[in-house]
Chains A and B, each alone.
Chain A
Amino acid sequence: MCLAVPMRVEKIEGSLGTVESEGVKIQADFSLAPEAKIGDYVLIHAGFAIEVLKPRQAEETLNLIRELVREAEAE
Chain B
Amino acid sequence: MKYLEEFRDPELAQKLSRKIKEVVGRERMTLMEVCGTHTMSISKSGIKDLLPENLRLISGPGCPVCVTPNAYLDRAISLSRNENVMVTSFGDMLRVPGSTASLEQARAQGAKVGMVYSPRDALALARQNPGLKIVFLAVGFETTSPTVAATILQAEKQGCRNFFILPGHKLIPPAMAALVRDRKLRVNGFICPAHVSAIIGVGPYRFLAREFGIPCVVAGFEPLDVLTSILMLAQMVVSGKPEVKNLYTRVATEAGNRKAQELLAQVFAATDSEWRGLGIIPESGYALRENLQGRDAEKMIPVEVEPTREHRGCKCGEVLQGLIEPPSCALYGKACTPEKPVGPCMVSSEGACAACYKYQGA
Contact = CB atoms under 8 A, between A and B. Distances in A.
Given a CB threshold of 8 Å, the question of whether A touches B is answered with yes
Interface of A: 1-4, 6, 29, 31-34, 41, 43, 45-48, 50-51, 53-55, 57-62, 64-66, 68-69, 71-73, 75
Closest 9 CB pairs of A and B: A47-B118, A69-B15, A72-B19, A58-B250, A57-B249, A57-B250, A2-B195, A2-B37, A31-B150
Interface of B: 1-4, 6-7, 12, 15-16, 18-19, 22, 35-37, 62, 64-65, 90, 92, 117-121, 139-141, 143-144, 146-147, 150, 154, 193-196, 198-199, 221, 224-225, 228, 231-232, 247-252, 257, 259-260, 263, 350
Contacts of A50: 143, 146-147, 195, 198-199, 257, 260
A3 to B, nearest CB: 5
Given A2-B37, A32-B146, A47-B147, A61 B247 contact: yes
Contacts of B221: 3
Output the residue of A1, A58, A75 with the most chain B CB within 10 A: A1
B143 A2 contact: yes
A25 B15 CA distance: 36
A46 B2 CA distance: 21
A47 B248 CA distance: 22
A58 B139 CA distance: 30
Nearest to A55: B1
Output the residue of B3, B154, B251 with the most chain A CB within 10 A: B251
B83 to A, nearest CB: 28
Interface of B is mostly: helix
Contacts of B250: 53-55, 57-58, 61
A41 B228 contact: no
A3 B150 CA distance: 18
B195 A32 contact: no
Nearest to A41: B3
B2 A68 contact: no
B218 to A, nearest CB: 11
